[in-house]
Structure 1
Amino acid sequence: MSLLARTLFLCDWTSVASQNSISARNLTLTYDPDKNPVEVLRGIDLDVATGEVLALLGPSGSGKSSLMAVLSGLERASGGDLTVAGQDFTTMDEDGLAKARRGHIGIVLQAFHLLPTMTALENVATPMELAGDPDAASKAKAELEAVGLGHRLDHYPTQLSGGEQQRVAIARAIAPGPELIFADEPTGNLDIATGHDIIELLFQRREETGATLVVITHDVELAERCDRIVTIGDGLIAKDSKPKTKPGTKAA
């Protein structure tokens, strides 16, 4: 690319990225590039508008969770341009990405990843305390109350059901007030009824906070709850579409 073309691209890129929670161009991810290269992401172009609810849909091995890891700063892209929550992830190292996530990005995973030696309150408050938030305890208490666990503040993970542990994980993700939330198969370890309740809670808290939400799933019914569905296949975007049902309506 010539210097002029690159300059024009960067000007257009900056304009687009400033209007979105996520802007990715030609995003790639290759594992073990020097010995046995495995291309996981093979050139992703994706914009996610601020406040949008997006589903990343695809079967296991399609690259959707790897894409989430890159977009959330848990993994460095091998190539391309990426701006997330107003920050340029393109040139950041792992420490830079960790700092960029702090307070701006909330993550909910299939495995709850709660610290077993900490209470629900401590699991939610501690990350904010480490980030230097003087109101960490009060924010954690308020968010746990918002997810229906005001009566479980002093309980340890082993004293909580799977659904309650995921509620704690949601509270931990949302309490700092992030602009962007990622949820990777958030109901994967839950029974159907509990999973339905967790999705209702996640969508409710997103609506109340106004955050952008990206849900990674293989569940078509869940994807239909979102504003937009991006289908991933073989490390590429196979389809970008609107749901067949009205966003926000409850799945049957």
Structure 2
Amino acid sequence: MTNTSSGGPLAVSARNLTLTLGSDAAPTKILHGVDLDIAKGEVVALLGPSGSGKSSLMAVLSGLERATGGSLTVAGADFSGMDEDGLAQARRGRIGIVLQAFHLLPTMTATENVATPMELAGSEDAQARAKAELEAVGLGHRTDHYPTQLSGGEQQRVAIARAIAPRPELIFADEPTGNLDVGTGEEIVKLLFERRAETGATLLIITHDKSLAEKCERVLTMADGLIVSDTKNAKTVAA
């Protein structure tokens, strides 16, 4: 595995990463050659205005979108050489994703929403692991409830449980509090940091909230498809 300048292992290593969408006749360049290393276990915030490329970068780093060019290694896997099927296989077990929209399946209970991805990956103890993770996020009493029976904050707790239950090496969170009120959002952030600390995963959070960014070890800022600043926070990571 590639090493950081300080000698530690990397969770993410990207070089000259580009992303171009649209047709050959009318291409739109989204990422313009991103270089980025994220150390294993690091907690990183990604800031930037709308249209700066934050969500596109997360999509590429998490394997949801294939880079157009450059090299990318994520949790020891060479993403740059994979097709869409290969990326889907590589994400499984390595990467957990929490989005602003909760993306829970409405016909499944909280337990089923958390367990189903693990079952599809072949885990024999998926139901037990799902219930244990729901307990850990404070929803032990809501395991058999459907998304429509849960508040927004509870639905995001289910989404966090779904992302973390397989014990991925990396967790990507794109505006995880965007659909929540301030108080509930603070609870979700605290929970996300607590579960990350428990599991030791690497965490990358896309956010517009500078107070949330200050809770992270490192803050990246994007503009026009490039990382334009990379700073370390003096504060200890929130837990």
TM-score w.r.t. structure 1 length? 0.91
CA distance in 2, matches of 1:104, 1:242: 25
Residue 15 of structure 1 pairs with residue 6 of structure 2: no
CA distance in 2, matches of 1:240, 1:84: 19
CA distance in 2, matches of 1:123, 1:249: 28
CA distance in 2, matches of 1:165, 1:190: 10
Higher-Rg structure is 1
Match for residue 50 of structure 1?
Answer: 40
CA distance in 2, matches of 1:247, 1:77: 33
Deviation at 1:85, TM superposition (A): 0.8
Q: Deviations over 1:58-102 (max 9, x none)?
A: 111110010000000000000000000110001101110000000
Q: Number of paired residues?
A: 236
Identity %: 73
Question: Which 4+ residue blocks in structure 1 deviate beyond 6 angstroms?
Answer: none
Residue 106 of structure 1 pairs with residue 96 of structure 2: yes
CA distance in 2, matches of 1:218, 1:88: 30
CA distance in 2, matches of 1:164, 1:219: 21
- Contact 2:115–2:127 (CA under 8 A) maintained in structure 1: yes
Unaligned residue ranges in structure 1 (runs of 5+): 1-13
Equivalent AA in structure 2 for residue 74 of structure 1: L
Equivalent AA in structure 2 for residue 208 of structure 1: E
Match for residue 185 of structure 1?
Answer: 175
Residue 127 of structure 1 pairs with residue 117 of structure 2: yes
Match for residue 63 of structure 2?
Answer: 73
Q: How does 1:1-252 map to 2 (within 5 A)?
A: 15-16=2-3, 19-32=9-22, 34-243=24-233, 246-249=235-238
CA distance in 2, matches of 1:136, 1:91: 30
Deviation at 1:33, TM superposition (A): 5.1
CA distance in 2, matches of 1:121, 1:15: 37
CA distance in 1, matches of 2:64, 2:2: 25
Deviation at 1:249, TM superposition (A): 4.5
Equivalent AA in structure 2 for residue 199 of structure 1: V
Deviation at 1:15, TM superposition (A): 3.5
TM-score w.r.t. structure 2 length? 0.96
CA distance in 1, matches of 2:43, 2:29: 27
